[in-house]
Structure 1
Amino acid sequence: MESTNALVIGFQNAGVTKGMMILLALTSLTASLLDVKPYLHLQLVPHITKYRQFWRIAIHPFAFANSTELLIGEILLYNVGVAVERAFGSRKYSSFILVSSLLSTFIASIAILIGHKFGLNSIPAGPYGIIFSLVWQQYRIFPSLYHFRVLGIEFSSKAFNWILAVQLLLSKPPSSLLISLAGLLTGYIYRTDTLFPLPSLSISRRRLLVKRSLKTYRIPLSLYQLLSRLFSPIIGESLPPRRSQRVLPGQQSQSQIQSSQRGASIATALNAGATNQNGSARSRLRRFLSNRTNPAPPPPDTSIGAGANDGDIGGREQRGGQGEQREPGTATAAMGEWVNEITGRGTRVASEQEISTLSNMFPNLSREVIVRALQTNDFNTAQAVEALLQESG
């Protein structure tokens, strides 16, 4: 399942994470522009004990205090949150975000109540608890895709996310360390089967609180559908990423392989016809191709004298010669040579068998034209035949 995490591209089936990232960026930017960043963090003394600013408990996860934390947080949400949401499903993922935010804030609040005498007095602004709870889910759900060594130390594919997480963890010690550990603890508790008294809105149970594990909790379906209808037009729907159809040098798609096989079968049929002295099909193909490559010239103008006719014929021959020689210098040919130099396709030389095959099929074309057709079509015989037919037609 790590391949899903490693190849995360776009926000397909991850609308909740996309909405969180947009909301987090907007609230952090707004707080910076309005100069209200001092009101974002949660501090026990004096904000709670003296001024009774309990609203800080609810708003502190909605915005980061500086751009560095915002950047690292957005990258972690994209790298980790998208994969976890695809694994959970949007409704379970939304329930997980709600549970992680509340539980991590509760654990951190209890910690500052107990340890404020030792310097643990505040919680920084930002969804630290949610992000580190997501990091724990990624660690437990997805196996590593690959491993590598640096200076003899082995690392996994998850090391890059852990490096970013450590930077966020050490951004504002010791308060950032406290809320980050609370988020990791929340992620650990979420995956256990520990029973907690959770609110129940079901009328059939006739109880306000029901003991069950955190991972079984779901927000009410009606509330989820209402929020989905409200925010889906704003967030938008992410389409699946378009897969590239470009083939790297040395690689061939299935269609190209089939085209090569068709071209090889044509060449084999021609060779077999020659060896069996049954060249009628070959001669008909040659006549057909020669008619297409060398159409009948227009009738000469009889009103012009013989000298003019000779000059016109010479001019036509000269223009025809220039027409055959202008192809290497055209913009299309120059662009093809430039692309060949970049992609490395020009490093291969056309084999004599390929050249002879096309020479038998196009006897009126020069060797240079056939070699150029093979090079521009990545030495695919069938595609080179189609290109020469189009040029000659």
Structure 2
Amino acid sequence: MNGGPSGFNNAPVTKAFVIATALFTVFFGIRGGSSKLGLSYQDIFEKFRIWKLIISAFAFSSTTELFSGLYLLYFFRVFERQIGSNKYSVFILFSGFVSLILETILLSLTKDPTANLLTSGPYALVFASFVPFFLDIPVTKRFGVLGVHFSDKSFIYLAGVQLLLSSWKRSIFTGICGIIAGSLYRLNIFGIRKAKFPEFMASLFSRFSLPSLSSQSQPPRRTSPNLGRQARAYRAPMPSTTEPSEEAIATLVSMGFDQNAARQALVHARNDINAATNILLEAHSH
């Protein structure tokens, strides 16, 4: 299991988010203010510090959290490649907004104006991403160490646990809010999974991006006997004689498709990743 091709290819939103998180964390860390970025009852209900609401969504409060968080954000770029940059931007805003509402409710229940109850950082996006990671990313390898069984997903879970426990209660609360937000997105409340930004807003990232991928959920890694029939039924251009690129194949494989099936779909779709993804999804559905 991997996040697909290395780097931020076809993941411009993730790239921008990772850079912003790193810059904000380093900036406030140098100024010695990162430990004060956690949200408190006073920030929301008394002084209403809007700037703190925004900054706390990006800047981690410690170097340990920064490294763990950036590693997870970088890995989860696979979801942007899967649903496209436009819908992934919606996912980021939705998870952040829902998490903020839940955190506000939590702070209103404590009513302690002196304590920073919630730690800072993009916990909403990180832990919301664990929902599709758990449900959609298949296990492709299992192994044992000293009698303990692991899978290729174990290291991602371990990094998540480390981040979740990094500030104890302060980080556990924010992590749980993120998981709830990701679950609500998964349940498609208000049809949120079909929501998109206007094209002129999405084009802000267009100079960094390749064509967006399908918005369907990632299927298990398998080869379908119906692939050929679905490829012929799908309204796509005639098969290409050009061999699909290894990068395009790797992108589809990272979404859980079988390598041979991915190659065949790309041939039928004339190397169009969008069309190839639809062919594979239709074949899997049958």
TM norm structure 2: 0.67
Instruction: Evaluate the alpha carbon distance shift between residue 120 and residue 219 of structure 1 in structure 2; reply closer, same or farther with a 3 A threshold.
Output: farther
Instruction: Evaluate the alpha carbon distance shift between residue 179 and residue 144 of structure 1 in structure 2; reply closer, same or farther with a 3 A threshold.
Output: same
| Aligned AA (1:75) | Y
1:217-269 per-residue CA deviation (whole Å, 9 max, x = no partner) reads: 212222222x226xx4xxx579x999xxxxxxxxxxxxxxxxxxxxxxxxxxx
C-alpha deviation, 1:116, in angstroms: 4.8
Instruction: Evaluate the alpha carbon distance shift between residue 55 and residue 6 of structure 1 in structure 2; reply closer, same or farther with a 3 A threshold.
Output: closer
1:50-199 matches, cutoff 5 A: 50-80=46-76, 82-116=77-111, 122-194=117-189
* Separation of aligned partners in 2, 1:184 and 1:115: 21
1:259-307 per-residue CA deviation (whole Å, 9 max, x = no partner) reads: xxxxxxxxxxxxxxxxxxxxxxxxxxxxxxxxxxxxxxxxxxxxxxxxx
1:201-232 per-residue CA deviation (whole Å, 9 max, x = no partner) reads: xxxxxxxxxxx22212212222222x226xx4
Q: Is the 8 A contact 2:142 2:152 kept in 1?
A: yes
Aligned length: 212
1:322-359 per-residue CA deviation (whole Å, 9 max, x = no partner) reads: xxxxxxxxxxxxxxxxxxxxxxxxxxxxxxxxxxxxxx
Does residue 216 (structure 1) correspond to residue 213 (structure 2)? The answer is: no
Give 1:13's aligned residue. 10
Instruction: Evaluate the alpha carbon distance shift between residue 8 and residue 178 of structure 1 in structure 2; reply closer, same or farther with a 3 A threshold.
Output: farther
C-alpha deviation, 1:48, in angstroms: 3.4
What SS does the corresponding residue of 1:41 show, helix, strand or coil? coil
* Separation of aligned partners in 2, 1:89 and 1:27: 26
C-alpha deviation, 1:129, in angstroms: 0.8
C-alpha deviation, 1:9, in angstroms: 1.6
* Separation of aligned partners in 2, 1:96 and 1:180: 16
Instruction: Evaluate the alpha carbon distance shift between residue 237 and residue 120 of structure 1 in structure 2; reply closer, same or farther with a 3 A threshold.
Output: same
C-alpha deviation, 1:181, in angstroms: 0.7
Alpha-carbon RMSD across the aligned residues, in angstroms, is 2.5
Give 2:221's aligned residue. none
| Aligned AA (2:58) | F
* Separation of aligned partners in 2, 1:150 and 1:115: 43
| Aligned AA (2:85) | S
Instruction: Evaluate the alpha carbon distance shift between residue 8 and residue 155 of structure 1 in structure 2; reply closer, same or farther with a 3 A threshold.
Output: farther
Give 1:369's aligned residue. none
> Considering only CA atoms, is the larger Rg found in Structure 1 or Structure 2?
1
1:286-305 matches, cutoff 5 A: none
1:347-375 per-residue CA deviation (whole Å, 9 max, x = no partner) reads: xxxxxxxxxxxxxxxxxxxxxxxxxxxxx
Instruction: Evaluate the alpha carbon distance shift between residue 110 and residue 7 of structure 1 in structure 2; reply closer, same or farther with a 3 A threshold.
Output: same
C-alpha deviation, 1:96, in angstroms: 0.7
Instruction: Evaluate the alpha carbon distance shift between residue 155 and residue 92 of structure 1 in structure 2; reply closer, same or farther with a 3 A threshold.
Output: same
1:23 equivalent among 14, 20, 24: 20
What SS does the corresponding residue of 2:6 show, helix, strand or coil? coil
* Separation of aligned partners in 2, 1:32 and 1:193: 37
| Aligned AA (1:218) | K
What SS does the corresponding residue of 2:56 show, helix, strand or coil? helix
* Separation of aligned partners in 2, 1:241 and 1:63: 36
% identical aligned pairs: 31
C-alpha deviation, 1:54, in angstroms: 4.0
TM norm structure 1: 0.50
Q: Is the 8 A contact 1:77 1:131 kept in 2?
A: yes
Q: Is the 8 A contact 2:18 2:70 kept in 1?
A: yes
Q: Is the 8 A contact 1:120 1:174 kept in 2?
A: no
Instruction: Evaluate the alpha carbon distance shift between residue 189 and residue 237 of structure 1 in structure 2; reply closer, same or farther with a 3 A threshold.
Output: closer
1:15-61 per-residue CA deviation (whole Å, 9 max, x = no partner) reads: 111111111111111112233325522111x3334433243223211
1:236-385 matches, cutoff 5 A: none
What SS does the corresponding residue of 2:97 show, helix, strand or coil? helix
Specify every segment of 5 or more residues in structure 1 that has no aligned partner in the other structure, as ranges: 195-211, 243-393
Instruction: Evaluate the alpha carbon distance shift between residue 159 and residue 120 of structure 1 in structure 2; reply closer, same or farther with a 3 A threshold.
Output: farther
Q: Is the 8 A contact 1:6 1:145 kept in 2?
A: no
C-alpha deviation, 1:107, in angstroms: 1.3
Instruction: Evaluate the alpha carbon distance shift between residue 32 and residue 6 of structure 1 in structure 2; reply closer, same or farther with a 3 A threshold.
Output: closer
What SS does the corresponding residue of 1:213 show, helix, strand or coil? helix
Q: Is the 8 A contact 2:13 2:205 kept in 1?
A: no
Instruction: Evaluate the alpha carbon distance shift between residue 115 and residue 151 of structure 1 in structure 2; reply closer, same or farther with a 3 A threshold.
Output: farther
